[in-house]
Amino acid sequence: MPPSWVPLQMLEELDRYGRADADTALAAVEALDKVISYTQAMQMRFMDRFTNARPAVGAPFSKYAAGEIAASLTWSLSAAQKRLNLAYQLVHELPGTMAGMSHGDLDLRKAFTFADQVGHLSPEDARKVEE
């Protein structure tokens, strides 16, 4: 479920006017972490859609796709390649991890760590570990 923009607007006002005590600030940090995870999941899905438009024979996507992402986002080629590989893995092989990100339960760093740990497994075995 996507985050609500109403609480985001409220958080923006709290930030702007500095009206947050420690408990409110901690709650805001938690809420924003869920928003970040949700948007990271969305970015992964859009990266996968981008690579679908850049097909390659015998590979999930064109070897030039990472260059396009790197240039667009001013990332290194290596960072773009890693992120595209992660997007592919999350969308196609680790739907539970992707769902966790979409619900704000897992951030990109945790998803990357998990994907890295199960990367040597078959997609079926990785899903079993995921469950």
DSSP track, 69-113: HHHHHT--HHHHHHHHHHHHHHHHT-HHHHHHHHTTSS-HHHHHH
pLDDT of residue 4: 62
| pLDDT reported for residue 20 | 78
Q: For 55-82, how does the pLDDT look when each residue is reduced to its tens digit (9 = 90+)?
A: 899 998 998 999 999 999 999 999 999 9
Model pLDDT for residues 19-39, shown as the tens digit of each residue: 778 888 888 888 889 889 999
Q: What is the mean pLDDT of the chain?
A: 90
Mean pLDDT across 88-117: 94
Using CB atoms within 10 A of its CB, is residue 41 exposed (0-12), middle (13-18) or buried (19+)?
buried
Which SS3 state, helix, strand or coil, does residue 59 take?
strand
Kindly state the DSSP code that residue 18 receives in the 8-state scheme.
Answer: T
Which among 79, 61, 118 is positioned nearest to 95, based on CA atoms? 118
Q: How many Å separate Cα 106 from the centre of its chain?
A: 9
pTM for this one?
A: 0.86
Q: Say which residues have a Cβ less than 8 Å from residue 131's Cβ, sequence separation at least 6.
A: 96
Helix (H, G, I), strand (E, B) or coil at 43: helix
